[in-house]
């Protein structure tokens, strides 16, 4: 299908290739939807919240109570995420996947309660979550995407809130991409130089313990059953030899790469696991996935190691200023749309990039061709 899409783009009334990144985005949108006339419908932003045991080791200057406070703020339409969702027409869903706080859902009815536990365990000493918790968190993300898709959405943007979540993201980047840990660790929400050194010391100790323990040893039966299960022909390539299933085909489990599964289960937060599950489900349902900053890029890294087809649906919104984000994007071959010096999280960078995706789709659908505009095609 790519030659047909490219021919349409090259016949638009402009010099060949002159709209640059918009042209490759247009190709991606057309491939995702398998049409020369893609449409972006009812975009939805899902923000998952969760606390981290590692936060208690002083790896962040943000105390964990801020997670709950911000979740309540978001549920009331506050924060940058609420503002940008309103600006760009996104429906916002605020999901408690593992915040260390019991919300009064009568006061905050817009917080969706899917709490796995009151935060993960401290991965300096033990796995952040059990196998059951990992799979439950993945299911939370998939469920939330299904709700959005069933309401007509074909664009998903993902964000997070969780004090300390740059720490697991740094380790995921280090272990899955083999990038030296010091290059993966940054200031997070504002650590000074001594704070960054302490953070690196803690994360180094956690990785060393993980390696000494041999990760999890024997894998659980559920994991083995997923890994050993072959995909059917119906789950094969739809985009560039890879991609989502055809409509009506059976919902077979996605293949899970053991290393990514083990690493994420040991270090990630519940909000991160839910985001991974959301990314995988969105790809299954042929939805555009807007990827935000450092944490969400780490989640996309995990998702891509579980099923590489997910990258066909990913649009990387921006390159943030958190240490290592550019390295991770480069290692994944990702081309972010923006570089605005942002490091907020919440999904804000991806939301800011969304109008560029809209422009790419409008170019493909609304721009005159040479023939229609009665202009000589000169190449």
CB 79 within 8 A of CB 126: no
Does 106 participate in catalysis according to the annotation? Answer: no
| End-to-end Cα, the chain, rounded Å | 22
Cross-sheet strand order for the sheet of 91-98: 111-113, 91-98, 44-50, 155-161, 288-291, 314-316
- DSSP structure string for 268-314: --HHHHHHHHHHHHHHHTT-EEEE-SHHHHHHHHHHHHH-GGGGGGE
Say how far apart CA 283 and CA 5 lie, in whole Å.
21
Return the DSSP state at 180: -
Q: Which of 133, 160, 284, 346 is catalytic?
A: 346
Contacts (Cβ under 8 Å, ≥6 apart) of 324: 170, 173, 179, 183, 184, 185, 186, 294
Q: Which of 112, 214, 120 is nearest to 164 (CA)?
A: 120
H-assigned helices in the chain: 2-10, 21-33, 65-75, 79-88, 131-150, 166-177, 181-184, 193-212, 221-228, 258-267, 270-284, 294-306, 325-332, 348-366, 370-373
Could you list the active site residues?
A: 346
């Amino acid at each position: 299908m790519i030659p047909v899409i490219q021919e349409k783009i090259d016949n638009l009334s402009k010099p060949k290739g002159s709209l640059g990144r918009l042209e490759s985005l247009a190709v991606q949108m057309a491939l995702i939807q398998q049409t020369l006339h893609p449409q972006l419908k009812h975009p939805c932003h899902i923000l998952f919240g969760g606390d981290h045991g590692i936060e208690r080791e002083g790896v962040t200057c943000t105390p964990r109570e801020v997670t709950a406070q911000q979740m309540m703020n978001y549920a009331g339409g506050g924060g940058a995420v609420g503002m940008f969702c309103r600006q760009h027409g996104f429906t916002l869903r605020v999901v408690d996947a593992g915040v260390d706080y019991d919300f009064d859902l009568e006061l905050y009815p817009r917080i969706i309660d899917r709490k796995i536990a009151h935060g993960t365990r401290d991965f300096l000493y033990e796995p952040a979550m059990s196998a059951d918790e990992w799979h439950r968190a993945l299911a939370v993300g998939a469920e939330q995407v299904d709700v959005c898709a069933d309401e007509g959405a074909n664009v998903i943007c993902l964000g997070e809130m969780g004090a300390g979540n740059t720490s697991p993201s740094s380790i995921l980047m280090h272990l899955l991409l083999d990038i030296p840990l010091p290059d993966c660790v940054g200031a997070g929400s504002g650590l000074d130089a001594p704070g960054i050194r302490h953070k690196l010391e803690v994360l180094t100790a956690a990785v060393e313990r993980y390696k000494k323990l041999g990760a999890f040893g024997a894998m659980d039966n559920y994991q083995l059953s997923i890994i050993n299960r072959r995909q059917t022909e119906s789950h094969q390539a739809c985009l560039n030899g890879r991609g989502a299933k055809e409509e009506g085909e059976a919902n077979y489990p996605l293949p899970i790469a053991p290393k990514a599964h083990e690493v994420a289960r040991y270090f990630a937060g519940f909000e991160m696991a839910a985001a991974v599950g959301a990314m995988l489900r969105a790809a299954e349902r042929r939805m555009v996935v807007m990827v935000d900053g450092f944490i969400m890029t780490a989640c996309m890294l995990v998702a891509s190691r579980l099923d590489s087809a997910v990258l066909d649906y990913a649009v990387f919104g921006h390159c943030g200023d958190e240490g290592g984000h550019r390295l991770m994007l480069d290692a994944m071959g990702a081309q972010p749309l923006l570089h605005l010096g942002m490091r907020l999280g919440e999904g804000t960078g991806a939301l800011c990039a969304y109008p560029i995706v809209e422009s790419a789709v409008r170019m493909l659908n609304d721009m005159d061709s040479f023939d229609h505009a009665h202009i000589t095609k000169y190449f």
